[in-house]
Amino acid sequence: MADEITLMAIKVAGGPAALAKELGIKTPSVYSWRQVPPKRVQAVSKLTGIPPEKLRPDLYEVAA
C-alpha cells in the first residue's frame, strides 16, 4: 500500500489513471507505488503542486 503523501498526490492528480496518463505510463505502474519513484518525483510535484521534499523527504532536503 502506498504511503499517505503518495496517496494524496494520486488523489490531487485526479486518480491513478489520470496521473499515469499525465506521466505517460501505464495505470498499473501507479497502483504499484509505495512511494513516488525517484525518477517521477519532479513530474509528480509539477502536476500536483506538492513539493518534492514532501513527496520524498528521504531524497530532498526541506527548504529552510
Q: Which carries the bigger pLDDT value, residue 14 or residue 64?
A: 14
d(CA 16, CA 13): 8
Q: What is the 3-state secondary structure (H, E, C) of the chain?
A: CCCHHHHHHHHHCCCHHHHHHHHCCCHHHHHCCCCCCHHHHHHHHHHHCCCHHHHCCCCCCCCC
pTM for this structure? 0.91
**Domain range for residue 47?**
4-55
12 domain residue, yes or no: yes
Condensed to tens digits (0 to 9), the pLDDT of residues 3-57 reads: 999 999 999 999 999 999 999 999 999 999 999 999 999 999 999 999 999 999 9
Q: Is residue 60 part of a domain?
A: no
Tell me the backbone φ, ψ of residue 45, rounded to 5 degrees. -60, -45
Question: Residue 63: its pLDDT value, please?
Answer: 63
Alpha carbons 47 and 64: distance in angstroms, whole number: 23
- Position 10 in a domain: yes
Domain count within the chain: 1
